[in-house]
């Protein structure tokens, strides 16, 4: 079931009242009707099972049937350092990475990044990306929206390495270490930082710098994957091998 993010002030006396854009989404795009049930989560991470009593183009009213305070917990906390890609590709990655359970996303400017953020548009772009994350989190039934950083340089993100238990860098130049082998022999904790390169891949200098900060370059196989494909393949394999995919 999708979730919808609300503010606790929208629930008074066990009754939910919605106005604004969320009404158009719930009552319009999703065609929810009187008697249907939805699940909403407030800023305090409290969930509410709600039955709809009134659905109009401008307002939705529902009765709280049950309150839930225990959010699903993932065994992994994945930070994705994603080199900024062209607009639609980046939007798609943000959406799918959210569905695959990342905790934090850091847009990264690398040596081969084709599209670099214009200073006058950073705030606007950041807000638009946050909306993509919010919609993806709701669709995926997540209780939280991934943290989204403002764009940063590759070298600056690399220096955060001591804050993580495990550091991974998928790289087409790695010929000896596969991801499964590395996960089975080196995993030390749940906090993981994954770096995904741009369309042209990481430069040799960036790979060397990452190695110096204890990142482990890994191969995803002999096929050369597009940046957006590599990102999703990496996240899906992490969730399957050591995360919550396949767990009940």
pLDDT at 246: 63
Helix, strand, coil percent content, the chain, rounded in steps of 5: 35, 25, 40
pLDDT at 30: 66
Pairing of strands 37-41, 3-5: parallel
Q: What distances in angstroms separate CA 182 from CA 31, 47, 65, 179, 213, one per listed residue?
A: 46, 37, 46, 5, 17
**Cross-strand pairs, 105:** 80, 148
Evaluate whether 230 touches 236 at the Cβ level (below 8 Å): no
Evaluate whether 194 touches 79 at the Cβ level (below 8 Å): yes
Rounded Cα distance between 23 and 61, Å, is 10
pLDDT at 69: 86
Question: What is the distance in angstroms between the CA of the first residue and the CA of the last residue of the chain?
Answer: 16
Q: Break the chain into its structural domains and give their ranges.
A: 3-68, 77-242
**Cross-strand pairs, 77:** 191
Collect the ranges in the chain with pLDDT lower than 50: none
Q: Is the pTM of this model over 0.75?
A: yes
- Its sign, for the CA torsion 95, 223, 215, 185, is positive
Rounded Cα distance between 85 and 200, Å, is 10
Q: Which fold has domain 77-242?
A: Alpha/beta knot (3.40.1280)
The percentage of residues in the chain with a pLDDT greater than 90, rounded to a whole number, is 64
Q: pLDDT for 135-146, tens place per residue?
A: 999 989 899 999
pLDDT at 86: 86
Q: What is the architecture of the domain spanning 3-68? A: Beta Barrel (2.40)
């Amino acid at each position: 079931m999708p979730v919808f993010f609300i503010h606790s002030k929208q629930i008074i006396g066990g009754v939910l009242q919605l106005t604004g854009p969320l009404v158009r989404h719930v009552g319009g795009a999703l065609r929810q009707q009187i008697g249907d049930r939805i699940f909403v989560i407030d800023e305090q991470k409290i969930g509410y099972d709600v039955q709809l009593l009134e659905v109009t183009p401008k307002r939705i009213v529902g009765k709280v049937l049950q309150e839930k305070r225990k959010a699903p917990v993932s065994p992994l906390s994945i930070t994705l350092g994603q080199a900024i890609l062209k607009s639609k590709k980046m939007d798609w990655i943000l959406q799918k990475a959210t569905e695959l359970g990342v905790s934090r996303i850091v847009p990264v400017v690398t040596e081969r990044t084709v599209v670099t953020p214009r200073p006058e548009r950073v705030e606007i772009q950041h807000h638009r990306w946050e909306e993509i994350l919010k919609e993806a989190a709701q669709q995926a039934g997540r209780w939280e929206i991934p943290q989204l950083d403002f764009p940063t340089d590759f070298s600056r993100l690399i220096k955060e390495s001591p804050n993580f238990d495990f550091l991974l860098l998928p790289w087409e130049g790695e010929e000896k270490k596969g991801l499964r082998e590395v996960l089975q022999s080196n995993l030390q904790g749940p906090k993981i930082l994954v770096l995904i390169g741009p369309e042209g891949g990481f430069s040799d200098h960036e790979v060397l710098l990452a190695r110096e900060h204890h990142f482990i370059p890994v191969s995803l196989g002999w096929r050369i994957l597009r940046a957006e494909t590599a990102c999703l393949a990496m996240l899906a394999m992490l969730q399957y091998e050591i995360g919550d995919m396949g767990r009940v």
